[in-house]
Amino acid sequence: MSENIPAKAETPEITRTLKCTSCGAPIKYVEGENLISCFYCGTTNMLAGFDRIVKVENHRIIPNEYTKSQIEQICRDWMTKGFFKAADLDEQAVFDTTEGFFLPFWVTTIEARTFWAGLNKRERWVGSARSRRVDRYYVPVNGEFTQTLNWAIYARQDTERYFGLEALNPGSHSVEADWGGFVLNFGLGEQTSTQTDFRKGSQPFTLELAKSLPILNGQVIRENAETHSRNRVIEYHRSLAQRKCARVTDVDTTTYVKETQLIYVPLWFITYRYKDKRYQMLVNGCSGEVEKGQAPVGKYDKAVVVSVVTAILAVLFTVLATKLDPQFFYGTGASVAIAALYWIYSAAKRD
């Protein structure tokens, strides 16, 4: 996770020129870009097909509120909060890069309604005396739920170049904990992302607001973004439906697009080093929120997990010892405890 940071691919760029639909000024752009902003009048044009240029009417921007040093301080504050982070992370972390951009997103407001059906497991006692047993069976259940989501689709194709963009929508990981190969992590330290509504705080696009950071043109046209948004919302609703019962048998989601806006969002991408490993972070340049971050887990957190697991095993072996062979289970329990203590000692020396 921490060491596989995609390099910025260098590809040949072919530059082209078109005239702005509003002021007529020449606009240079790179072949493959389909959302081109005019830096003479601020208009954004969409190349919707061969020789077809459409002015983007619903065109907005979110102001950037932070400097590079302020963003790095936000990152250090984040390093000190929450569980399962190395205790000295904020002191030992060294920033490699801190870059901010205005990135284009199609934000589609979608109303989604889902009907689901499935089965829930039930148990009941049947029989009597020695033939008494637990009978397990399933009962049918169903329901429905409705949500209005503001789904953000990155309007470029270089998604691998920018870390954490998937966390801007719900259902992804907003925190990734690096356990360093520790097998007893149980997913601890991971957090799930929630909805980031870019409509709040957005303003009509002006060149003045776009001056603080480099701005990138888009490559994905609105129609494609809306289709992608619908598909992602359907996938998200399916994942929500699967939590409603033990076994889902049917999920049917209908979507309705209410509005789509092109919004330029200030995002900061940070890479830092901790003990010769590289980690990444994504910070919202308007709210100052860490949208996604990677962090190493400390040795003491690992020791606590091992201690808890050891305690649970000790209780289990004690219970078994009282009912079966005390000598065998006490001896096995002692061996497990000794092995756990040795692992803790070894981990502390490694860190």
Q: With contact defined as beta carbons under 8 Å apart, do 42 and 205 qualify? A: yes
- Give the CA radius of gyration of the chain: 27
Q: With contact defined as beta carbons under 8 Å apart, do 258 and 58 qualify? A: no
Q: With contact defined as beta carbons under 8 Å apart, do 62 and 286 qualify? A: yes
3 state SS of 62 = coil
> How much is the pLDDT for 213?
93
- Chunk the chain into consecutive blocks of 10 residues (it has 351) and report each block's average pLDDT, rounded to whole numbers: 48 72 77 74 68 70 95 96 89 96 94 96 81 85 95 89 92 89 77 86 87 87 92 95 92 95 95 95 96 90 73 68 57 58 54 54
Helix %, strand %, coil % of the chain (to 5): 30, 40, 35
> How much is the pLDDT for 19?
78
3 state SS of 103 = strand
> How much is the pLDDT for 300?
77
Tokens of 54: 């459409």
Closest listed residue to residue 104, CA positions, set 144, 46, 50, 187: 46
Tokens of 184: 């007893």
